[in-house]
Structure 1
Amino acid sequence: MKKIFNHKAIWTTALAGILSATSCTKDFDDMNVSPNSPTAIGAQYLLPAGIEASIDRYWGHRDRFERINIDAAELYVQHLTRNIYSNEGDDYTVSPALLANNWKGFFNDGLLNFQRIILQTNAESASPNANYEGVALVMRSWVFSLLTDMYGAIPYTEAIQGTSETPNYTPKYDAMDVVYAGLLNDLKVANEKLTVGGPAIAGDILYSGDILKWKKFANSLRLRLANRQAAKKSAESKAIMAEILADAAKFPIFTSNADNASLKCTAVLPGNNEWNQILIQGGRTDWNISKTLADKMNALGDTRITVYANPNKDGLYQGHANGLPDAIATNYLATSSTIGSAFTKAEAPEVIMTFSELNFILAEAALDGDITGDAKMYFEAGINASFGQYGLTTPAAYLTTVGPVTREKVLDQKWISLFAQGIEAWTEWRRTGFPVFPAPDPRAVLNNGGILPTRFNYPASEYSLNEAAVTAGRALNGTADDMKTKLWWAEK
């Protein structure tokens, strides 16, 4: 359609603009704002962006040198193994790019978004919304917990202040015990702020605005962290656990698999599961089930393996050893099981905490004397919840085969249930020493002195941009910046 111009009006307007130019330039900055280029992004947009970026990164990430889960943690804990490119994680080699990209990604794509939500919606802001603030506190706490559990001391009390009114581009590092204390407090505050029936939130792609489930996640995550530090801060951890478990109305926790914290993926790109993008859309066939996992599950008659893995050409669920050089590992392509479709289909959920894990936490705490309760009941509930998570029923003889509850068995079952959650399984192994993995295959070629990594190195970017702080942070971990240093909560 043609436009009809009123030339007289144009010239009159132009002349008026020329004559008044000197008088209105003081308002020019206010006038020259494009409605299509907003200077601030609302919480309803920051929240889904932060949730998806953080969980995708934790779960696997579709890009090479970003996949901290399946190119590192899932291999370390011997859920998965590789049949090619063993130097990408399976032999304990870690690319400097993987370390730098994930450090940057968790801070910039996750924490920064959650921090902005908190500043935009807290009680001192122009648009307070306690539920947005509470949700952001939970997610911020979860991401910080990942970072400190992977690297050790991290920027925390002075972190994510680069865009504040008084920016800090060289934040100090805090010791892990300081970080944990802050996270445990923040999760309690988050539970207090989250109000069922309170202000509505939009953009919640984790729980669809269900504030009760957010409260359950906050308190369940608080139990995870309290249990994780229990050997180092026994009295404090016992007090936290007692407080939560004594008042289910004030401190609700997960009560079924319906409460699991998991990102519901879609069949539409780019909302598909990250493993789907790598293995199906990308056609990558690099990963198989580890022999360690397959042997353990087969010995127990554990039917979850039919979900975790696909049968090989002989109808068997088998794996091959970790750390084999490519020339040997590729020989297992025809016999090693691939990852099950429950984890590789487009709409497969990306899970970050489950009812099963919570029960194993409580079983361990009961055995350790940190809580009063029936360890056997929690242990069996954890097993049943894990089977139920995949629509399975625990085999009739399974609990008998597993045998009486012990701390080692709790952690063994926790390791099985954490399949695909490599970072959590790796953290639990580094904390407790369980499960006890078999000796490496004699043909394996392993770096890091043959020692299964106990932490990640700080990225090189920190030494170039924040050298004094990272050097002090390295000292807080107690020794060199290497992958053999045991972190604060390590019990052995």
Structure 2
Amino acid sequence: MKRLYISSIAILLLTFGTISSCTGDFEEINTNPNDPISVSPSLLLPNAIQIVVDRYWGHSTRYERLNIDAAMCWIQHLSRNIYINAEGDSYEIPLTISSGTWNNLYRESLINFEKVKTLSGPGGSYENTNYVGIAMVMQAFTYAYLTDVFGPIPYSEALKGTAEEAINSPKYDSMEEVYAGILADLTEANDHLSTSGPAVVGDIMFNGDIMKWKRFANSLALRIANRQAVKKPAESKEIMTRILADPAKYPIIESNSQTAELIHFDVIGSRNKMFDVFSTRSDWNISTTLIDELLALDDERITVYAQPLEDGTYAGLPNGLTDAAAGNFNASRIGLKYLDPTAPSVLMTYAEVEFIKAEAALDGDIEGDAAQFLESAIKASFNQQGLTMPDDYMSRIGGVTKESIMTQKWIALFGQGVEAWNEYRRTGYPVMPAPHPNSVFSNDGVLPTRIEYPTSEYSLNKANLDEGVSKLGGADNMRTPLWWVE
């Protein structure tokens, strides 16, 4: 019989194929119709999407939750009141966060998206350009996630374990090279995706709505182009201008109903992972930094992000306190919205697209009024939380500056800690307050600039890893800045 398998000889020996255990005439007579020779894209796609989303939003496995245990604390959306040294808030993280992120995204998602492309491409068993386009969008998102977290990564050779000339030890590409590849892939994905094309099954993100996939693809291209704009201004300006000038060809996210998000169900394995974590443990509070900013702005989003104390007020917990010091604070916990098992895991919002436009307009990369884009972004953020932006809110934030745009973006990205961490590292905003006197930070007191490569790469792909570290431009630690830093 034949059965499909997905395995890895090393961390990056990403292969797929079939193993034959019967040959000749015996193969035909021993074929089991319930154990198919090949798996259709509709069966590969759901799990591949689920794994990417969980690793981005909040995986439920302890010591592997980059967003919950690390990024949301580093960016001071959340703070820890216990296990502070072990799980992120003090800038110390277990190595399993690195290996869990790396291994699962390469082995369980990227390789399956590649298989979807092979099965659905020209001459494939399930030829369907829409499957190809969806897989390319999700690969682009996943590679962007990996490079924004680690720096240089295997990209161009990462999935060539079964090529005619198999590459079992893939090279590392620079962030600039990865970004260029991602942007090219997103343009190609947009071309593959057709609303008049064949239907897809197994799309747990958009339920087969191809226009939403096109909007996600082009909005993601805006994110990537804007992020690299300081390093490649002419190219980034051309990409953003081209997309925004032709909405018929390059549709983008234009309302909250078009948000790129995974809707969950109250079933074990499908629940919102933040529910899985926060509903069973009380180790986290809302950071003082976020609470103080929202209170200063009299911002009603505080009622969604945080639970009030018994007296109806809101209070935060400073980041980096020792367990003993944290016990002296009475602080708000995360809002009930995030304790709903059916709450969505969010990848990209309408508000983020408008914030990108605001920043690009302010920088002169696109035409338009930065103030109008910023107001639109804030309104979208309020509406996303079921609220209405007050008429005088724009007067509360001061002028339209890089700092005001990025601070508001930081507020709106609550829940998307990795994305907020990306933007903070890139721009330096929001300006973080001085640490509490009782705070104790590792990593030389530097808010992490990246996470370290998994230790398995040192034993299984050392020569290429060394080349990757040279492209990083600094040591493999959590203090080396990434390529797109302004």
Q: Is the 8 A contact 2:60 2:274 kept in 1?
A: yes
Per-residue Cα deviation, 1:218-274 (whole angstroms, up to 9, x for no partner):
000000000000000000001101110111100011110011001001112221100
> How far is 1:439 from its partner?
1.2
> How far is 1:45 from its partner?
1.1
Partner of residue 152, structure 1: 151
Q: Is the 8 A contact 2:40 2:126 kept in 1?
A: no
Q: How far apart, in 2, do the equivalents of 1:117 and 1:26 lie?
A: 28
Q: How far apart, in 2, do the equivalents of 1:371 and 1:26 lie?
A: 63
Q: Does 1:217 align with 2:212?
A: no
Secondary structure in structure 2 of the residue aligned to 1:174 = coil
Partner of residue 10, structure 1: none
Letter paired with 1:235: A
Secondary structure in structure 2 of the residue aligned to 1:98 = helix
Secondary structure in structure 1 of the residue aligned to 2:285 = strand
Alignment of 1:389-400 (within 5 A): 389-400=384-395
Q: Unpaired runs of 5+ in structure 1? A: 1-23
- Larger C-alpha radius of gyration, 1 or 2? 1
Q: Does 1:388 align with 2:387?
A: no
Q: How far apart, in 1, do the equivalents of 2:198 and 2:33 lie?
A: 27
Alignment partner of 2:421 out of 426, 430, 434: 426
> How far is 1:393 from its partner?
0.2
> How far is 1:109 from its partner?
1.8
Letter paired with 2:50: E
Q: How far apart, in 2, do the equivalents of 1:160 and 1:338 lie?
A: 42
Per-residue Cα deviation, 1:75-96 (whole angstroms, up to 9, x for no partner):
1100000000001100000101
Partner of residue 314, structure 2: 317
Per-residue Cα deviation, 1:31-64 (whole angstroms, up to 9, x for no partner):
3233333332210011111111110111111110
Alignment partner of 1:32 out of 12, 25, 30: 30
Q: How far apart, in 1, do the equivalents of 2:48 and 2:339 lie?
A: 23
Per-residue Cα deviation, 1:194-231 (whole angstroms, up to 9, x for no partner):
00121100011111111111101000000000000000
> How far is 1:164 from its partner?
4.5
Partner of residue 19, structure 2: none
Letter paired with 1:182: G
Q: Which has the higher helix share?
A: 1
Q: Does 1:304 align with 2:301?
A: yes
**Higher mean Cα deviation, 125-134 or 169-178?**
125-134
> Identity of paired residues, percent?
51
Per-residue Cα deviation, 1:435-490 (whole angstroms, up to 9, x for no partner):
11011112111100000000110000111111111111000011110100000000
Q: How far apart, in 2, do the equivalents of 1:327 and 1:225 lie?
A: 42
Letter paired with 2:102: W
Alignment of 1:180-219 (within 5 A): 180-219=179-218
Q: Is the 8 A contact 2:179 2:224 kept in 1?
A: yes
* TM-score (norm. length: structure 2): 0.94
Partner of residue 76, structure 2: 78
Q: Is the 8 A contact 1:172 1:469 kept in 2?
A: yes
Letter paired with 1:270: G
Partner of residue 489, structure 1: 484
Q: Is the 8 A contact 2:272 2:344 kept in 1?
A: yes
Letter paired with 1:190: A
Per-residue Cα deviation, 1:317-347 (whole angstroms, up to 9, x for no partner):
1111100011111232xx2100111111110
Alignment partner of 1:53 out of 43, 51, 54: 51
Secondary structure in structure 2 of the residue aligned to 1:415 = helix
Q: Is the 8 A contact 1:99 1:456 kept in 2?
A: yes
Q: How far apart, in 2, do the equivalents of 1:95 and 1:311 lie?
A: 32
Q: Is the 8 A contact 2:41 2:126 kept in 1?
A: no
Letter paired with 2:327: T
Q: How far apart, in 2, do the equivalents of 1:198 and 1:31 lie?
A: 37
Secondary structure in structure 2 of the residue aligned to 1:179 = helix
Letter paired with 2:461: N
Alignment of 1:359-370 (within 5 A): 359-370=354-365
Letter paired with 2:328: N
Per-residue Cα deviation, 1:160-209 (whole angstroms, up to 9, x for no partner):
23344543221000000000000000000001110012110001111111
**Higher mean Cα deviation, 416-425 or 393-402?**
393-402
**Higher mean Cα deviation, 269-278 or 30-39?**
30-39
Q: How far apart, in 1, do the equivalents of 2:100 and 2:132 lie?
A: 27
> How far is 1:314 from its partner?
1.9
Q: Unpaired runs of 5+ in structure 2? A: 1-21
Do the aligned partners of residues 174 and 317 (structure 1) sit closer, same or farther apart at CA in structure 2, a change above 3 Å counting? Answer: same
Q: How far apart, in 2, do the equivalents of 1:94 and 1:262 lie?
A: 27
Alignment partner of 1:373 out of 368, 376, 387: 368
Q: How far apart, in 2, do the equivalents of 1:105 and 1:26 lie?
A: 37
Partner of residue 96, structure 2: 97
Q: How far apart, in 2, do the equivalents of 1:433 and 1:320 lie?
A: 22
Q: How far apart, in 2, do the equivalents of 1:94 and 1:165 lie?
A: 40
Q: How far apart, in 2, do the equivalents of 1:321 and 1:286 lie?
A: 13
Letter paired with 1:400: S
Partner of residue 325, structure 2: 328
Per-residue Cα deviation, 1:405-432 (whole angstroms, up to 9, x for no partner):
1111000000000001011000000101
Q: How far apart, in 2, do the equivalents of 1:391 and 1:275 lie?
A: 19
Secondary structure in structure 2 of the residue aligned to 1:351 = strand
Secondary structure in structure 1 of the residue aligned to 2:327 = helix
Q: Is the 8 A contact 1:303 1:395 kept in 2?
A: no
Q: How far apart, in 2, do the equivalents of 1:207 and 1:259 lie?
A: 9
Q: How far apart, in 2, do the equivalents of 1:214 and 1:115 lie?
A: 17
* TM-score (norm. length: structure 1): 0.93
CA RMSD of aligned residues (A): 1.2
